[in-house]
Amino acid sequence: MSVLEVRGLQVRRGRRQVVHDVDLTLARGEVVAVLGPNGAGKSTLVEAVGGLLPSQGAVRIEGRAATVLQTPGLARRTARANVELALAWWGVPRRERRARAMAALDLMRAAHLAGRQAGSLSGGEARRVHLARGVAVAPDLLLLDEPFAGLDPESHAALSEDATSALRATGGGVLVVLHDRADAWAMADRVAVLVDGRLVADAAPDRLLAAPPTAEVARFLGYDGCLVDASGSTLTRAPHVRLVPAGEPGLLEGAVARVVRLQDGARVEVATAAGTVWALVDATDPGGLPRVGARVGVRVSGGVRFPPSV
Amino acid sequence: MRFFLEGLAEAWDIVWAHEPWLVQLVVVTLKVAFISTGVALLIGLPLGLALGLGRFRGRGVLMTLANAGLGLPPVIVGLVFALLMFPQAPLGRFHLLFTLNGVLVAQTALALPIVVALTASAVRGVAPGLLAQARAYRARRWRVCVLALREARVGIMAATIAAVGSGLSEVGAVVLVGGNIDGLDQTLASAALQRIEAARFAEGLAIGIVLLGLILVITAALTVLQAGGGATRRVGRSS
């Protein structure tokens, strides 16, 4: 049973149309991630669904919705009191607030912060308390706008892991705007891609990655290689490409254009006659990391095909 | 210097003797300061809240007016109110001229812009996103207002201190509206002016000592309250 049904949603900011004709449904217990480039209208979409912005179209919510905004605005009181405050806003009776606040902080692995003043919390801790407010009110539909924005990679990874289980524990539907694709894959049952205010894809993460509906979506999802032939284009991601020694007959060959060092290897860009591809090279490879300008063979397995117009 | 020291000693004797006229001046001064501040807070807090939270056309103009009110010349305010309170004037039927109530009205008018402007600024300085977050959780309007006032309490205490300070030391409006009538609406500051004009320097100095003492004690008490309201206990590391 769907907890959210959006039909033909349109949002204008001043003279600019930011969201165009968006249709979206979300079932109870489902987590849907909204991804898209900067300025695509993701936050606007969530705020409009949450009723915080005027919009046109139909938004039907089965029950009550709460929106966790991007900025973790905390009141000058303890972490627990901040969660209790959200419960008061939500209309929860006073006698239930303390227990629910502590349970939510516990789910967010922030119970040890309960007595700390908001001003003394680090960025990651403040975000945990911010998310605990959303978990505590446990709405039928929880809307979140970039809940991990501005965190260092370590805090980000820890928080996204804990948030995933905590958000599912609310039992309601969750619509979450994310910036990082990896978070969407870790958290969501479905991924909706918004480009220029238009919903251009909506599918389960693995299905979407395996078969992006358009080249634009494919590029956004990390398909950064493009090989062109007479019948169309093949877009590739690094896992589709393997570098082998040059000289094998019938093998696509090219020159190494760029080597971007990673912790355990490198991303290597190879320019071929058919186009450019990126490959991952392990630092422990017997041949070592290739040098810029070196000739290499390129073996492609996978990728997605699009017609010539791409 | 000797003249000053002798005057100071004589003034101290007057203070120490708890002269009834001096006690009466203290009572009137406290009444003027606290009643006018109380009324200004009652009217000014909702107005400051509306200016700080509201998004409506003309808010910038109103904010500018409130800020300009911080520099209102008390003599001009006193003059305008005195003219308005003349028997044939719009406020004449209330018989406020040369009464303590008249002084209270004028002093409230002086304290009001202080409360409005400083409250609006304090509310606008509340942690970004907090009030928006309250609205995003469907908080009722009154809860958002209470939250804004609570979060802005340090600034609101500053407004209260400034309004009380203005009430304690105001002269121009008190003299023009109240007539500086001994035993009726004369305050410490206006009495000091009168005594000095009459060359009764020891009494003027005695009044000055009491007035400064009052200002120090009251503002210290309010400052302690303000520090308590804004304190955030820091426990553990902050990274």
One-letter amino acid at A298 equals V
- The reply to whether A204 and A100 lie within a common domain is yes
Is A237 at the interface with chain B, CB within 8 A?
no
Contact A64 B138 (CB under 8 A): yes
Q: What proportion of chain B, given as a percentage, has pLDDT over 90?
A: 71
* pLDDT tops 70 at residue A309: no
- The tens digit of pLDDT for each residue in B36-60 reads 999 999 999 999 999 999 888 999 9
Whether A216 is covered by a domain: the verdict is no
Q: Residue B237 above 80 pLDDT? A: no
B139 touches chain A (CB under 8 A): yes
Statement to judge: residues A61 and A176 lie in one domain: yes
Provide mean pLDDT across the span A227-253: 91
- Is residue B103 pLDDT above 90, yes or no? yes
Assess whether A148 and A89 both reside in one domain.
yes
Across the range A18-33, mean pLDDT stands at 96
Res. A55: pLDDT tops 70: yes
Mean pLDDT (chain A, rounded): 93
Asked if B142 reaches chain A (Cβ–Cβ under 8 Å), the answer is no
Residue A158 lies in a domain: yes
**pLDDT score for A220:** 92
Verify whether the Cβ–Cβ distance A89 to B238 is below 8 Å.
Answer: no
The interface predicted TM-score of the complex, written ipTM, equals 0.82
Stronger pLDDT, B184 or A23, i.e. the higher one: A23
B125 touches chain A (CB under 8 A): no
Judge: B236–A120 Cβ closer than 8 Å, yes or no.
yes
Residue A1 has pLDDT above 80, yes or no: no
Q: Could you say which residues from 177 to 236 on chain B have a Cβ atom under 8 Å away from some Cβ of chain A?
A: 230, 232-236
Nearest-CA neighbor of A44 among A29, A32, A56?
A56
Mean pLDDT of A41-47: 95
One domain, residues A168 and A235: no
- Average pLDDT of the residues in A157-164: 88
Identify the domain boundary among A163, A185, A208.
Answer: A208
The shortest C-alpha distance from B120 to chain A (Å) reads: 18
Q: In Å, what is the CA distance from B164 to each residue of A131, B155, B220?
A: 42, 14, 12
CB B25 within 8 A of CB B191: yes
Residue closest to B32 by CA, chosen among B159, B162, B163, B161: B163
B171 to A73, A103, A160, B99: CA distances (angstroms): 44, 59, 63, 15
pLDDT of residue B182: 87
- Nearest chain A residue (CA) to B128: A73
> Per the domain annotation, does A309 fall within a domain?
no
* Mean pLDDT (whole number) for A38-56: 94
Inter-chain CB proximity A73 and B138 less than 8 Å: no
Q: Above 70 in pLDDT, residue A174? A: yes
Domain B2-233 adopts which CATH fold? MetI-like fold (1.10.3720)
- Is the pLDDT at A37 greater than 60, yes or no? yes
CA B83 – CA B93 distance, rounded (Å)? 13
Q: Are residues A87 and A233 in the same domain?
A: no
Cβ–Cβ below 8 Å for B147 and A116: no
On whether the CB atoms of residues A70 and A50 are closer than 8 A, the answer is no
B137–A67: do the CB atoms touch at under 8 Å? yes
pLDDT bin (cut points 50, 70, 90) of residue B239 is very low
pLDDT tens-digit map of A278-306: 999 988 877 788 899 999 999 999 899 99
Note whether A69 contacts B150, CB cutoff 8 Å.
no
Q: Are residues A113 and A190 in the same domain?
A: yes
- Residue B5 pLDDT greater than 90, yes or no: no
Among A52, A74, A118, select the one facing B136 at the smallest CB separation.
Answer: A52
DSSP result, B168-218: HH--HHIIIIITT-TTTT--HHHHHHHHHHTT-HHHHHHHHHHHHHHHHHH
Please, which pLDDT band fits residue B234 given cuts at 50, 70 and 90? very low
Q: How far is A75 from chain B (nearest CA, A)?
A: 7
Could you tell me the pLDDT band of residue B16, with boundaries at 50, 70 and 90?
A: confident
What CATH number does the domain containing A277 carry?
A: 2.40.50.140
Whether residue A268 sits in one domain with residue A151: no
Q: What is the Cα A6 distance to its own chain's centre?
A: 20
Domain containing residue A100: CATH number: 3.40.50.300
Indicate if the pLDDT at residue B226 is higher than 90.
no
Q: Decide if B150 touches A, using CB distance below 8 A.
A: yes
Query: How close A202 gets to chain B, by Cα (Å)?
Result: 26
* Share above pLDDT 70 across residues of chain B, in percent, rounded to a whole number: 95
Residues A59 and A186 in one domain: yes
A95-104 mean pLDDT = 97
Does A129 share its domain with A246? no
pLDDT of residue A247: 85
Mean of pLDDT over chain B: 89
**Residue B238's pLDDT band (cuts 50, 70, 90):** very low
Do residues A159 and A299 share a domain? Answer: no
**Residue span of the structural domain in which A259 resides:** 222-304
Whether A4 contacts A14, CB under 8 Å: no
Mean pLDDT on A80-84:
97
Residues in chain B: 239
Q: Report how far residue A74's alpha carbon sits from residue A161's, in angstroms, rounded to the nearest whole number.
A: 22
In chain B, what residues touch A89 (CB-CB under 8 Å)? 134, 137-140, 143
Distance from CA of B202 to the nearest CA of A (A): 49
Residue A25: predicted pLDDT: 96
Closest CA to B193 of B204, B178, B209: B204
pLDDT score for B9: 81
| Predicted confidence (pLDDT) at residue B81 exceeds the cutoff of 80 | yes
Pairing outcome for strands A252-262 and A295-300: antiparallel
Kindly list the residues from chain A whose CB atom is less than 8 angstroms away from the CB atom of residue B151: 75-76
Q: Domains in chain A: how many in total? A: 2
A–B interface: beta-carbon pairs under 8 A: 79
- Per the listing, tokens 């303000």 go with B226
Q: Give residues 95 to 154 of A whose Cβ lies within 8 Å of B.
A: 115-122, 133, 137
**Using only C-alpha atoms, what is the Rg of chain B?**
21
Report the run of H or E that residue A269 belongs to, with start and end. strand A265-272
